[in-house]
Amino acid sequence: MKVTKAHFGEPSKVKLQLNIVKESWLHAIPDSVKEFPWRKAEDLLLKQLLLVGQKAFKWSLIILFLFSFLSDVMYSISRNWELMIPLGLLVGCLMMDCLKEISMEVFQASEKRGLSLPLLGFSCCFILVKVISTYLTPSTQPFLLHVANGGLMQVLWIWGDSLKENNQGKLGSTYSVAYQKTLLVKKAFGIAIERQ
C-alpha cells in the first residue's frame, strides 16, 4: 500500500497551481472591486428577490382565489342556487369581521404588527372550510363555498388595507434605500460619489 506525501499535510501540485492562479487573479482585480461591500450587496439582492417572490406569490394566490370564486358562482348558477351567492358572501364577511375583532382583543400585540399572523390563520380556516365543503352534500355545498369566499375576500381586503398603511409609513425610508443602492453602484464602478 503506497502512501503519498499529500496525505501527510504536504501540498500537492494541483493545490500549489491553484494558489498561484488565485494570487495572479487577485493582482489583476482592480481595487474598487476589492473594496466593494459585497455582503451588503448580497443582502440587498436577497431582500429584493424575497420581495419579488412575495409579490409573485401574492398575485398567484389572488388569481387562484378569483378563479375559484368564479367557478363557485358558476356552480351555484348551474344548480339554481343563485340566492346562496350574496347570502354566503355576507355571512363570510361578517364572520371575518367578528373574528378580526376577537383577535384584536385577544392578541393586543398584533395591532402593531399589522395582523399578519392572525390573518394567515383565518385564511387557512376559510380555505379548510372550502375544502371540507366539497365533501358535503350538494344542498349545503354552495352556501359553505360562498361563506369561505366571503371570508377570504374580507381577509384580502383587510390585508390590502394594512399594506397600504404600512407603505404610507415607509414612504420616507424607500428614498433612503434607493439612495443607498445608487451609492453602491457608483462605488462598484469607481464613480466619484458626490454629496448632495
pLDDT value for 196:
42
State which amino acid sits at residue 169: G
Angle between helical axes of 141-169 and 171-188 (0-180°, round to 10): 70
Distance CA 164, CA 114 (A): 11
SS3 (DSSP) at 194: coil
State which amino acid sits at residue 140: T
Distance CA 182, CA 162 (A): 29
Whole-angstrom CA distances from 196 to 8, 119, 155, 179, 183 are 59, 43, 44, 11, 12
Distance CA 68, CA 154 (A): 15
Kindly report, residue by residue over 73-100, the tens digit of the pLDDT: 999 999 888 888 999 999 999 999 898 8
What DSSP character marks residue 7? G
Higher pLDDT, 67 or 35: 67
Which of 59-68, 131-140, 186-195 is predicted with the least confidence, judged by mean pLDDT?
186-195
Angle between helical axes of 141-169 and 84-106 (0-180°, round to 10): 50
CA 16 to chain CA centroid, nearest Å: 46
pTM of the model: 0.60
Higher pLDDT, 19 or 165: 19
Domain boundaries, the chain: 63-172
Block residue for cell numbers 375583532 = 101
Cα angle for residues 113, 117, 118 (degrees, 5° grid): 105
Phi and psi of 169, rounded to 5°?
-75, -25
Kindly report, residue by residue over 13-30, the tens digit of the pLDDT: 888 888 888 888 888 888
pLDDT value for 195:
45
pLDDT value for 52:
94
What DSSP character marks residue 5? G
Average pLDDT, the chain: 80
pLDDT value for 1:
46
Kindly report, residue by residue over 130-164, the tens digit of the pLDDT: 999 888 888 888 899 999 999 999 988 888 888 78
